[in-house]
């Protein structure tokens, strides 16, 4: 036989959880046709001797809802082996929408997801009003990787209820029926699910809470029931779990009335083991026959501290704000003197670390800026200034309250958890967690001195299990009939590089990008989209409309 592509002699970790093996992978017409000893030839052949061959990664928690309408490349996720990205999380999106409400949705996304208003105002084409028209707009633009989305609660509530929805008023019976109808129609048009936010952390750029944060039980259950009647779709929820028992009751009832799966974002918000209560509730849900999953991060969720980023303690210096040459020793001296005169930096310096290149995402507490200043007898502002001159500093926020990532390991190991929460496409000048997939493999499969996982299990979690959680049963496994999304990886040299700010967004907006070494080839439907970390120019990615069935063997 002749194939479109044969990847020869790689160490195949196929995503099923089975043991790695040396094998060839053959591809034709965008699907995998053989895995093993392939006798036929390929129109193109790749020598993968010494490399890992894995399925493409499936990232189920991104926020490319705006970027996907103006940018064909879903970076930085696509540079980290991701071949399918699910957006429309946390109840945030841009459809359905009335023309008069564009600004409200922009303010919502600007406040919650740190996407600058000028970028969205210039970048969003607004060629849609209905959710179905939004899907068509995405579908009409080629991309480097596949994208999928969900119906999002905040724009839906605003669309149906108008200002009452924005003001977080209780929905009427008629409101709930209409939201349910539109959510179900969105699922039938191709959305993979419905998402909502119930956390007070999420606020608009005006400081107002999101429309969905106080939605009552009858509203969410009414929408869930309508979604359930389609026989498809999943639910995604983020909540700060204030009023824990009530919040869990809401989610349990959504699953009961719909018969559909639900995922909940879980992290360690503060010191202590409160996250274990969440896992215990998830275990109870599954024991009842419901399908509930925790989506957890493979490292701390942290903020970049950068001279040009959103979080920069030196902005309190008037001299700094005058945009001097920061490399000038005299300017450095004067800025530090001004900071000292103002009482020092207003920042948690015991929680800020040098990130470095390659990044150190599990820094020891004794390497914090404050600890170094005490040990070296220096001004902490001087230490932080020098760190930031070389690259961004790093401030872990969630999952790092014990000074290590032991909590992360515990969460990743839970049988009802899968990796996610990258927020790719969001927090563009503050966070770059789109490299989570790279950290999952390197930190937990290779580098950590204690608590490593089998690489086969990590690949299964990042590929097959994430895909199946959201109904994409046609990908995430290297086996005949499955979609030919493939990574060929130099695992020994796989490394995320230091994040860097670039000004390449609409209206000259800036964002953080993060390169990676070690991704030799990334294929989407058998077409190479990245080679050696560089885009090939190919754009085979599509909008995935609706769940996908398991390939027939």
In a domain, 527, yes or no: no
Residues 268 and 205 in one domain: yes
The pLDDT tens digits for 242-296 are 999 999 999 999 999 999 999 999 999 988 899 999 999 999 999 999 999 999 9
What pLDDT, on the 0 to 100 scale, is given for residue 469? 98
pLDDT tens, residue by residue, 511-535: 999 999 999 999 999 999 999 999 9
Of 398, 427, 444, the residue at which a domain comes to its end is 398
Predicted TM-score (pTM) of this structure: 0.97
Summarised one tens digit per residue, pLDDT across range 378-392 is 999 999 999 999 999
> What's the mean pLDDT in 111-132?
96
CATH number at residue 154: 3.20.20.140
Q: Cα-Cα-Cα-Cα dihedral of 185, 189, 191, 195, to 10°?
A: -20
191 & 231 share domain = yes
Kindly state whether residue 453 falls inside one of the protein's structural domains.
yes
* Number of folded domains that form the chain: 2
Q: Exposed, middle or buried, 135 (CB in 10 Å: 0-12/13-18/19+)?
A: buried
Token representation of residue 479:
């086996």
8 Å CB contact between 53 and 64: no
Give percent of the chain with pLDDT exceeding 90.
96
- pLDDT for the residue 270: 87
- Residue 3 contacts residue 453 (beta carbons within 8 Å): no
Render pLDDT for 329-368 as a digit per residue (tens, 0 to 9): 999 999 999 999 999 999 999 999 999 999 999 999 999 9
**To which H or E segment does residue 46 belong?**
strand 41-47
**Rounded to an integer, what distance in angstroms lies between the CA atom of residue 43 and that of residue 278?**
51
Q: Looking at the structure, tell me whether residues 270 and 343 fall in a common domain.
A: no
Q: Tokens representing 187? A: 């699922």
**pLDDT confidence of 552, banded at 50, 70, 90?**
confident
Determine the Cα angle at 335 with ends 332 and 338, to 5°.
150
CA distance 95 to 18: 41
Where a domain ends, among 398, 431, 454? 398
> Does residue 119 contact residue 506 with C-beta atoms inside 8 Å?
yes
Pairing of strands 527-531, 534-535: antiparallel
Same domain, 279 and 337: no
What is the per-residue pLDDT for 56? 98
Last residue of a domain, one of 398, 430, 452: 398
> 413 and 381, same structural domain?
no
Q: How far is CA 80 from CA 72, 119, 438, 477, in A?
A: 16, 24, 6, 18
pLDDT of residue 207: 87
Phi, psi of 545 (to 5 degrees): -100, 110
Does residue 75 contact residue 432 with C-beta atoms inside 8 Å?
no
Give yes or no for residue 553 having a pLDDT over 90.
no
How far apart CA 538 and CA 526 sit, in angstroms, is 11
Spell out the long-range contacts of 169-176 with Cβ–Cβ below 8 A and sequence spacing 24 or more: 170/216, 170/219, 171/215, 171/216, 171/218, 171/219, 175/219, 176/218, 176/219, 176/222, 176/223
For the stretch 131-143, pLDDT in tens is 999 999 999 999 9
**pLDDT (tens digit per residue) in 185-231:** 999 999 999 999 999 878 888 889 999 999 999 999 999 999 999 99
Instruction: DSSP for 268-283, please give it.
Output: --SSSSHHHHHHHHHH
Structural domain harbouring 391: 305-398
Domain match, 97 and 243 both: yes
Other C-beta atoms within 10 Å of 365: how many? 14
């Amino acid at each position: 036989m002749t194939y479109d592509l044969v990847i020869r002699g790689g160490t195949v970790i196929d995503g099923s959880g089975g043991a790695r093996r040396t094998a060839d992978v053959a591809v034709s017409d965008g699907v995998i046709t053989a895995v093993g000893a392939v006798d036929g030839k390929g129109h193109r052949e790749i020598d993968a001797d010494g490399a890992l061959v894995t399925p493409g990664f499936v990232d189920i928690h991104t926020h490319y809802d705006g970027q996907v309408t103006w940018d064909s490349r879903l970076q930085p996720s696509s540079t980290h082996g991701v071949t399918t990205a699910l957006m429309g999380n946390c109840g945030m999106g841009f459809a359905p929408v009335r023309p008069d409400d564009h600004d409200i949705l922009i303010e919502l996304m600007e406040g919650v997801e740190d996407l600058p208003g000028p970028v969205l105002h210039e970048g969003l084409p607004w060629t849609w009003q209905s959710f179905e028209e939004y899907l068509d707009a995405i579908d009409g633009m080629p991309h480097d990787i596949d994208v999928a989305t969900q119906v999002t609660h905040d724009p839906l509530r605003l669309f149906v209820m108008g200002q009452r929805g924005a003001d977080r008023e209780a929905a009427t019976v008629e409101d709930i029926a209409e939201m349910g109808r539109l959510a179900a129609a969105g699922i039938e048009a191709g959305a993979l699910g419905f998402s909502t936010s119930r956390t007070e952390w999420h606020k608009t750029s005006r400081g107002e809470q999101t429309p969905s944060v106080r939605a009552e039980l009858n509203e969410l259950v009414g929408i869930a029931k309508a979604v359930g009647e389609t026989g498809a779709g999943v639910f995604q929820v983020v909540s700060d779990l204030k009023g824990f028992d009530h919040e869990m009751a809401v989610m349990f009832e959504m699953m009961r009335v719909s018969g559909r799966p639900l995922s909940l974002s879980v992290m360690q918000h503060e010191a202590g083991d409160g996250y274990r209560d969440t896992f215990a509730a998830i275990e109870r849900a599954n024991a009842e026959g419901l399908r509930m999953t925790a989506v957890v991060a493979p490292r701390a969720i942290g903020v970049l501290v950068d001279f040009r980023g959103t979080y920069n303690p030196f902005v309190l210096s008037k001299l700094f704000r005058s945009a001097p040459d920061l490399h000038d020793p005299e300017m450095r001296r004067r800025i530090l003197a001004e900071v000292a005169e103002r009482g020092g930096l207003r920042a948690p310096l015991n929680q800020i670390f040098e990130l470095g290149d390659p990044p150190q995402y599990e820094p020891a507490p004794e390497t914090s800026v404050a600890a170094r200043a005490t040990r070296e007898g220096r001004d902490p502002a001087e230490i932080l200034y020098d760190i930031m001159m070389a690259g961004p500093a790093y401030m872990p926020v969630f999952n790092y309250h014990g000074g290590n990532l032991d909590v992360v390991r515990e969460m990743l190991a839970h049988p009802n958890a899968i990796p996610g929460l990258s927020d790719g496409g969001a927090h563009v000048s503050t966070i770059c967690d789109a490299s989570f997939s790279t950290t999952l493999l390197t930190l937990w499969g290779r580098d950590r001195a204690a608590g490593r996982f089998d690489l086969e299990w990590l690949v299964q979690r990042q590929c097959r299990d994430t895909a199946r959680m959201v109904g994409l049963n046609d990908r995430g496994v290297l086996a005949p009939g499955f979609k030919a999304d493939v990574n060929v990886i130099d695992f020994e040299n796989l490394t995320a590089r230091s994040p860097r700010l670039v000004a390449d967004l609409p209206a000259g907006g800036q964002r953080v990008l993060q390169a990676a070494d070690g991704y030799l080839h990334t294929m989407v439907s058998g077409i190479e989209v990245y080679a050696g970390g560089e885009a090939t120019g190919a754009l085979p990615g599509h909008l995935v409309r609706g769940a996908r069935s398991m390939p027939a063997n």
